[in-house]
C-alpha cells in the first residue's frame, strides 16, 4: 500500500492539472525563466548569444535532473540556489557564469508561478466552456418542461427546467468574463532584483524585465518589492472559490431535487454494477454532487491563508511561501475536478418530467394563486383586495386539503368577475411561465455567440 497522505495524490484531481503543479514541472518552469533571462541579456548585448543558447539548452529536466537539484539542496538548504548550481554545472564553456545574472530568487519563483497559473487558467477556461455548453444543450431540450419553482423550499409558481438552467448559464458566462479579465493580473512575473529596484540588473533593468516577460507571454509587476504583489493571488483564489461556490449551488439543487419526496432529477446510476449503500441495497445516492459540495468547502478554506499571505513584512518575508505551496496547486486541482465532475453530472442527469407534473398536481392549484390575483386585478378589483380574497381562499384550501379552484369558486367576488371556464384557464400552470422560454432561448443564443459553437 502507498504511504500517501494528501487525497490529491490518490483520489482527486486530473493528471493534466496536477502535472502543471508537480515538482518536476515547477522546476522546469523556473529553468524556463532562467533561460528567458539569459536570452534577454544576450538581446541587450550584456552576454554572448552563444552563452544564452547554452543556458537555454540546459534549462530542462532532461539535462538538469530533479535528483541532482535535491542532492545540492542538502548542502545549500535553498531550493532555488540548488537549481541554479545544477544548471551552472551542466553548462559548457563560460555560459555557467551567467546563469541567474542580476536576479533574485523570487524573480524566478514568482515568474515561474505566473507560467503555472497561465497554463492552469487555460484548462479552467476550457472546463468552464465545456460545462456551459452542456447546460445550454439541456436548457434547449428542456425549454418547455414544466416544473414548480420554489422559494423558501416551498412551492411558489411554475417555471420550466430550461429556465432554471438558463440562470446557471448566465452565471457561468459571467465567470468566463471574469477569467478573461483576471488573466493579465494573475499571470504577472517580475525581474526586478532583491527589493524591486532592479539595481543588480544595471541600467538596462527595465528593458531586461520587459524582454523576459514578452518572451514568456506574461505581464509584469510595474513596481515590485522582492515579490509580485500578493493582491493578485488573493483575487485569483477568491475567484476560484466563488466558482466553486456556484458549482456547489448547482450540486445542492441536484441533491435536493433527487430527494425521494421530490424525485424530479437524479444522477446517472449504473443499476447493473453500481452500489449505493453497503447495507441499504435500494439506495441511489447523488454522490457526485455531494462530492462537489464537500470539495467546495475545502476550496473556500484556502481563501483565508491567501489573504494572510498578502501581508508581508517590509519588502517581503518568507511567511507566504509555505502557504502558497498548498493554496495555489490545491485550489486549481480542486476547481478543475469540480468543473469536470459537475459537467459529468449534468451530462448524465435523468430528468423525470412525469414526476414534475405529479408534483405540480400535488399542489392542488395553490401554485396558481398569483395568476388568479392578477386576473382579478385585470377585471377591475383592487390589487390589495384581490390579494386578500386569494389569500383567504388559499388558506381555506390548504387547511381543508381542498383544491384552490374549489375554494375560490365558492366566493361571490370571484363569480361576479369571471366564469368557471375563465378561472380554469387562468389556473392552467402551462399558461403561467412568463418569459421562461424567451429567457432560455436568449441564454442558449448567448452561449452559441460566445463560444462560437452550435448548441
Among all residues, which ones are annotated catalytic? 152, 277
Q: Look-up: residue for cell 414526476?
A: 355
- Dihedral-angle region of residue 312 (phi above 0 means left; psi in -120 to 50 means alpha; beta otherwise): beta
Burial class (CB within 10 angstroms; exposed 0-12, middle 13-18, buried 19+) of 278: exposed
Of 28, 17, 42, 2, the C-alpha closest to 240 is 17
Q: How far out from the chain centre does Cα 409 lie?
A: 51
Burial class (CB in 10 A: 0-12, 13-18, 19+), 47: buried
Rounded Cα distance, 139 and 213, in Å: 42
Contacts of 116 (CB under 8 A, 6+ apart): 20, 21, 25, 26, 29, 328
Whose CA is closest to 300, among 229, 237, 208, 348?
237
- Residue 266 burial (CB count, 10 A): 19
CA atoms within 13 A on the CB side of 291: 19
Amino acid at each position: 500500500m502507498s504511504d500517501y497522505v494528501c487525497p490529491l495524490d490518490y483520489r482527486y484531481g486530473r493528471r493534466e492539472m496536477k502535472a502543471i503543479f508537480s515538482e518536476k514541472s515547477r522546476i522546469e518552469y523556473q529553468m524556463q525563466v532562467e533561460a528567458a533571462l539569459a536570452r534577454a541579456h544576450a538581446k541587450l548585448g550584456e552576454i554572448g548569444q552563444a552563452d544564452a543558447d547554452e543556458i537555454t539548452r540546459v534549462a530542462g529536466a532532461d539535462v538538469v535532473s530533479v535528483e541532482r537539484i535535491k542532492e545540492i539542496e542538502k548542502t545549500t538548504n535553498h531550493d532555488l540556489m540548488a537549481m541554479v548550481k545544477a544548471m551552472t554545472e551542466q553548462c559548457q564553456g563560460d555560459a555557467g557564469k551567467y546563469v541567474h545574472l542580476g536576479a533574485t530568487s523570487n524573480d524566478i519563483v514568482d515568474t515561474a508561478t505566473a507560467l503555472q497559473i497561465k497554463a492552469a487558467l487555460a484548462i479552467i477556461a476550457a472546463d468552464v466552456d465545456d460545462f456551459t455548453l452542456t447546460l445550454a444543450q439541456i436548457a434547449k431540450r428542456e425549454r418547455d418542461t414544466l416544473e414548480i419553482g420554489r422559494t423558501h423550499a416551498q412551492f411558489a409558481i411554475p417555471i420550466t427546467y430550461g429556465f432554471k438552467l438558463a440562470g446557471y448559464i448566465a452565471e457561468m458566462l459571467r465567470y468566463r468574463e471574469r477569467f478573461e479579465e483576471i488573466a493579465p493580473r494573475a499571470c504577472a512575473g517580475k525581474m526586478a532584483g532583491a527589493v524591486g529596484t532592479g539595481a543588480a540588473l544595471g541600467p538596462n533593468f527595465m528593458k531586461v524585465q520587459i524582454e523576459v516577460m514578452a518572451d514568456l507571454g506574461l505581464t509584469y509587476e510595474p513596481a515590485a518589492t522582492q515579490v509580485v504583489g500578493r493582491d493578485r493571488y488573493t483575487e485569483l483564489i477568491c475567484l476560484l472559490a466563488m466558482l466553486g461556490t456556484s458549482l456547489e449551488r448547482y450540486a445542492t439543487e441536484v441533491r435536493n431535487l433527487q430527494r425521494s419526496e421530490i424525485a424530479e432529477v437524479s444522477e446517472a446510476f449504473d443499476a447493473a454494477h453500481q452500489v449505493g449503500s453497503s447495507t441499504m441495497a435500494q439506495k441511489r445516492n447523488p454522490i457526485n454532487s455531494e462530492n462537489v459540495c464537500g470539495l467546495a468547502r475545502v476550496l473556500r478554506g484556502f481563501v483565508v491563508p491567501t489573504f494572510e499571505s498578502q501581508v508581508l513584512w517590509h519588502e517581503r518575508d518568507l511567511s507566504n511561501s509555505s502557504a502558497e505551496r498548498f493554496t495555489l496547486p490545491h485550489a486549481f486541482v480542486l476547481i478543475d475536478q469540480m468543473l469536470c465532475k459537475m459537467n459529468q453530472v449534468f451530462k448524465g442527469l435523468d430528468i423525470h418530467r412525469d414526476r414534475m407534473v405529479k408534483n405540480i398536481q400535488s399542489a392542488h392549484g395553490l401554485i396558481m394563486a398569483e395568476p388568479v390575483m392578477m386576473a382579478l386585478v385585470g377585471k377591475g378589483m383592487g390589487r390589495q383586495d384581490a390579494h386578500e380574497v386569494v389569500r383567504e381562499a388559499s388558506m381555506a384550501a390548504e387547511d381543508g386539503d381542498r383544491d384552490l379552484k374549489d375554494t375560490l369558486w365558492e366566493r361571490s367576488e370571484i363569480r361576479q368577475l369571471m366564469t368557471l371556464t375563465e378561472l380554469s384557464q387562468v389556473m392552467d400552470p402551462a399558461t403561467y411561465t412568463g418569459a421562461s422560454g424567451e429567457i432560455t432561448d436568449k441564454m442558449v443564443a448567448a452561449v452559441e455567440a460566445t463560444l462560437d459553437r452550435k448548441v
